[in-house]
Amino acid sequence: MLLIGIAFDNIFKVEAFKIIRPYWYIVAYLPVGVPVLKEVWETFKARDFFTEFSLMSIATIGAFAIGEYPEGVTVMLFYTIGELFQMAAVNRAKRNISALLDVRADVAHVLRNEKYESVSPEKVAIGETIQIKVGEKIPLDGEMLSEKSSFNTSALTGESKPKTINKGESVLAGMLNLDKVIEIKVTKAFADSALSRILEMVQNATTRKAKTELFIRKFAKVYTPIVFFLALALVTIPFLVLGSNYHFQTWLYRSLVFLVISCPCALVISIPLGYFGGIGAASAQGILFKGSNFLDLITKLNTVVMDKTGTLTKGVFKVQKVESKIIEDEFLSLLAAVEAKSTHPIAKAIVEYTRNNKIHPAENIEEIAGMGLKGNVNGKVVLAGNAKLLEKFNISFDPEVAAIEESIVMVAVDGQYAGYILIADEIKEDAAEAIKQLHANGVKQVVMLSGDKTSIVKKVAGILGIDTYFGDLLPEDKVAKLEEIKQDKTRVVAFVGDGINDTPVLAISDIGMAMGAMGSDAAIETADVVIQTDQPSKIATAIKIGKATKNVVIQNIVLAFAVKALVLILGAGGLATMWEAVFADVGVALLAILNAVRIQKTKF
């Protein structure tokens, strides 16, 4: 209708059209104007009088009042098109997040009364057995009861490569069963599943705003009433100065142009959209930011402190050698008994290695932080841990054993040294590249903190090219080291870890980053950023996404202010019409939105 009206006004110049002209443009205005006028009414009821909606409404109604009908319709039409572009951009950003919702299973086949019942996942209790057929999604976190199967884990990790999970290992809600019909024992309620946690984290991410975003919102609240009163002054002051030469319609038009130009749409829309796009782009890479403030802060990162086991190494230990001074089967049974209830990767490796041996029940298991375990097995006091543990209880052992560089668990039975078990861990494939990429992306120092022996830590640091390393650390020692690093106020420090013992360090770092696939619940809850793929190289990817987001936000701010300032001056001097005003407002908003969308299309 707008285009037809403009054609009749300027090309065909039909006289009869002049009769219906005002009504024609009013009808054209209603579909795009009424929704905005409703928003004005709602904001007025909330006692918020100066918003982009009120500025647009006053400007367009004023344009109608002075007979500039096409301009009045055009402003609202372009504003509505801008809103549609914004919605499309937000939907694009949400696509990776909403894809997670699609992988939530609606039904769980639970074993009850010796038959499988189809129920809602929320109604399945911890400890119950559920069955998952080929092509079905895992509805709840659990432990694999079947021998093994292959799973598509892309919804959780962003990785398309299938993962094989064996009996006794954990499976997570949202994984897709690819191989065979399996059974799992439920270990977590639906609300506590890995997938539910991820969804909650991502959905809450937009509530934690970046400083730039918060500033623009505050700025808009002050800026909008100022430009409203400036526009009012543009109508009234010339009357006092010019007297009889004052032409009301001319100065009202300039005032309306000023209002349209000054509307803060481009800033209010595009800056939050830029951060939202960054969060969406990170989600597609398996990186979950818990707020746009961390997306902003990661661009200033110059020091990365990392745990070793489970972060730079796979944390999948295997027994390489057993040296015992007593019968080996008895040695393994006693050791496995005290390690059976521990969740530490080394303990799991020992239990897995000794699963064919009879494991006796252990009592009074006590964890001695940073040293190992103590427990009673068949009336015997068993110690299992490092050299510090045996020294604590004044148990002598061969000094050559303590000099072994690899990870070992030393064992004492009833106060006598009984032998050791040698454990090997494997460095992650992308760990060396991760350190290289961190240095390339502005990180000046990479530090490794570990509870492992200093000799092992030194060896790993040398292989990976890590700047500084510290071994033989207790959890409280890690906290002390990080606090020491943070004393230099020029440092912005991230800590990357995965275990419960890393939780205090994650909490006090500027940015806490947790490995999400193998990481403990406590670490994931405490962290500010969660890496679902467990790949250390994703830390550099997170920095790149943060920098790309910040660049887009700065570009949008500069673009919006530069164009608006220029056209505001021209408008006040009568050199810019409503058409230029439309470009300065809605045109710039569209350009800013399209610029923000680039983040989601960028390959990191």
Please report which confidence band the pLDDT of residue 592 belongs to, taking 50, 70 and 90 as the band edges: confident
Please report which confidence band the pLDDT of residue 220 belongs to, taking 50, 70 and 90 as the band edges: low
Beta partners for 142?
171, 186
Q: What is the DSSP letter of 370?
A: T
What's the rounded Cα separation, in Å, for the pair 160 and 162?
6
**Residue-wise DSSP of 457-473:** HHHHHHHHT-SEEE-S-
pLDDT for the residue 101: 47
Burial class (CB in 10 A: 0-12, 13-18, 19+), 32: buried
Q: Which domains does the chain have, with CATH numbers?
A: 23-97+209-276+549-601 (no CATH), 108-138+141-187 (2.70.150.10), 287-314+427-546 (3.40.50.1000), 318-424 (3.40.1110.10)
What's the rounded Cα separation, in Å, for the pair 482 and 495?
8
Query: By mean pLDDT, which of 102-111, 199-208, 313-322, 428-437 is the weakest?
Result: 199-208
Q: What is the mean pLDDT of residues 444-460?
A: 87
The DSSP bridge pattern shows strands 372-377 and 182-186 to be unpaired
Whether the predicted pLDDT of 195 surpasses 70: no
pTM: 0.65
Which are the contacts of 550, defined by CB distance < 8 A and separation ≥ 6? Answer: 296, 299
The percent of residues in the chain predicted with pLDDT above 90, rounded, is 21
Angle (CA) 310 315 316, round 5°: 155
pLDDT for the residue 100: 45
Q: What is the mean pLDDT of residues 561-573?
A: 80
CB 444, CB 300: distance < 8 Å: no
Please report which confidence band the pLDDT of residue 25 belongs to, taking 50, 70 and 90 as the band edges: very high
Query: By mean pLDDT, which of 6-10, 48-52, 427-431, 549-553 is the weakest?
Result: 48-52
Q: What is the mean pLDDT of residues 507-522?
A: 76
45, 59, 297, 401, 478 from 529: Cα distances, Å = 39, 44, 11, 40, 20
pLDDT for the residue 170: 86
Please report which confidence band the pLDDT of residue 543 belongs to, taking 50, 70 and 90 as the band edges: very high
Please report which confidence band the pLDDT of residue 132 belongs to, taking 50, 70 and 90 as the band edges: very high
Helix 265-284 to helix 69-102 angle, to the nearest 10 degrees?
Answer: 20
What's the rounded Cα separation, in Å, for the pair 497 and 66?
65
Which tokens belong to 198?
Answer: 């991820």
- pLDDT digits over 461-512, tens only? 999 999 999 988 877 788 889 999 999 989 999 999 876 667 788 888 899 8
Alpha-carbon dihedral of residues 502, 443, 600, 75, nearest 10 degrees?
110
Q: What is the mean pLDDT of residues 135-161?
A: 78
Beta partners for 304?
446, 494
CB 528, CB 512: distance < 8 Å: yes
Whether the predicted pLDDT of 420 surpasses 90: yes
Question: What distance lies between CA 243 and its chain's CA centroid?
Answer: 61
pLDDT for the residue 252: 84
The DSSP bridge pattern shows strands 511-515 and 372-377 to be unpaired
Which tokens belong to 489?
Answer: 């106020």
The DSSP bridge pattern shows strands 416-424 and 318-324 to be antiparallel
Q: What is the mean pLDDT of residues 431-459?
A: 90
pLDDT for the residue 215: 64
pLDDT for the residue 424: 76
The DSSP bridge pattern shows strands 303-307 and 493-497 to be parallel
Among 22-31, 149-158, 574-583, name the most confident range: 22-31
Q: What is the mean pLDDT of residues 12-28?
A: 87
Residue of 277, 278, 316, 282 whose CA lies nearest to 158: 282
Please report which confidence band the pLDDT of residue 364 belongs to, taking 50, 70 and 90 as the band edges: confident
- pLDDT digits over 226-281, tens only? 878 888 898 889 888 887 888 888 888 888 877 777 777 666 667 777 887 888 78
Beta partners for 110?
117, 130
- In three-state secondary structure terms, 247 is coil
Q: How many helices (H) and strands (E) does the chain have?
A: 22, 22
Please report which confidence band the pLDDT of residue 361 belongs to, taking 50, 70 and 90 as the band edges: confident
- pLDDT digits over 100-123, tens only? 445 567 789 999 988 899 998 889
What's the rounded Cα separation, in Å, for the pair 421 and 411?
8
Question: What distance lies between CA 515 and its chain's CA centroid?
Answer: 12
Please report which confidence band the pLDDT of residue 156 belongs to, taking 50, 70 and 90 as the band edges: low
- Kindly list the catalytic residues: 307
pLDDT for the residue 82: 67
Kindly tell me the sign of the dihedral angle through the C-alpha atoms of 19, 21, 26, 31: positive
Whether the predicted pLDDT of 174 surpasses 90: no
- In three-state secondary structure terms, 580 is helix
Q: What is the DSSP letter of 313?
A: B
Please report which confidence band the pLDDT of residue 541 belongs to, taking 50, 70 and 90 as the band edges: very high
Kindly tell me the sign of the dihedral angle through the C-alpha atoms of 340, 342, 347, 349: positive
Q: What is the average pLDDT value for the chain, to the nearest integer? A: 82
Q: What is the mean pLDDT of residues 531-557?
A: 90
484 or 222, greater pLDDT: 484
Burial class (CB in 10 A: 0-12, 13-18, 19+), 36: buried
- In three-state secondary structure terms, 280 is helix
Among 6-20, 115-129, 210-224, 359-373, name the most confident range: 115-129
Whether the predicted pLDDT of 64 surpasses 50: yes
Q: What is the mean pLDDT of residues 23-37?
A: 92
